[in-house]
Amino acid sequence: MPDAGVTLTELVVAMTVFGIILMGVATLTAGIHRSDGAARDRVDDTAEGSYALEQIDRAVTRAAVPTTLGGRERAAFAEAGPGTMVLYADLDDPGGAAGPSRVELVLADGVLSQTVRRPVEGTRDTYCADDDGSPACDGRVRTLVLARAVRNDGTEPLFTYLDAEGAVTDEPHRVRAVEVALVVQQDPSTGGAPTRFAARVVPYGLVR
């Protein structure tokens, strides 16, 4: 019997089945791609959040009162805001010989940065501005980006401050602990939940 070939109906059916298979493969591939992207974002969230908490902990636990301030108010903290914290801390200062650095933690447009100002040599209480290019200020101001995908908003402050009794305070000289609630998410459009970090950090030099 001679080969009658393929009818138009059979060709249409075959193309339809093939199209359905291709759509299924495309959907599966897109899902895998989204899952892979979400997993990479979660890894980045964890890395950024952990690094930020490490740097915050390092600064707050080493908070120190500048000798020029001192007094009974023990003002190691200069500013205590929900997204901005400024304090003095003994960083890279063996034996307290050089004096505490001024540490500025600022959250702006989703970016959490830390600026450390080491005192000018021989002064203990003089700190350089960002644009000071004098030899005395060379290498004494360093700014680091701690996290670029911070999603804290006005209802969820990054920093909350507690006094000696454990009550919330906004008076810098009363701060005896800092609660950190850090929300990090690379791409909110994925629909996944953000990564959250929480810690209570105690400035040990102020609670003795």
* 2-32 per-position pLDDT tens digit: 556 667 777 777 788 777 887 877 776 666 5
More confident residue, 38 or 103: 103
Residue 34: band (very low, low, confident or very high) from pLDDT cuts 50, 70, 90: low
Greater model confidence, 153 or 142: 142
What is the mean predicted confidence (pLDDT) over 90-119?
Answer: 87
Question: Percent of the chain, pLDDT > 70?
Answer: 83
Q: How confident is the model over 46-62, as a mean pLDDT? A: 94
pLDDT for position 179? 97
pLDDT band at 66 (very low <50, low <70, confident <90, very high): confident
Query: What pLDDT is recorded for position 32?
Result: 59
pLDDT in tens, 107-152: 999 999 999 999 988 777 789 999 888 999 998 999 999 999 999 9
**SS3 readout for the chain:** CCCCCCCHHHHHHHHHHHHHHHHHHHHHHHHHHHHHHHHHHHHHHHHHHHHHHHHHHHHHHCECCCCCCCCCCCCCEEEECCCEEEEEECCCCHHHCCCCEEEEEEEECCEEEEEEECCCCCCCCCCCCCCCCCHHHCCCEEEEEEECCECCCCCCCCEEEECCCCCECCCHHHCCEEEEEEEECCCHHHCCCCEEEEEEECCHHHCC
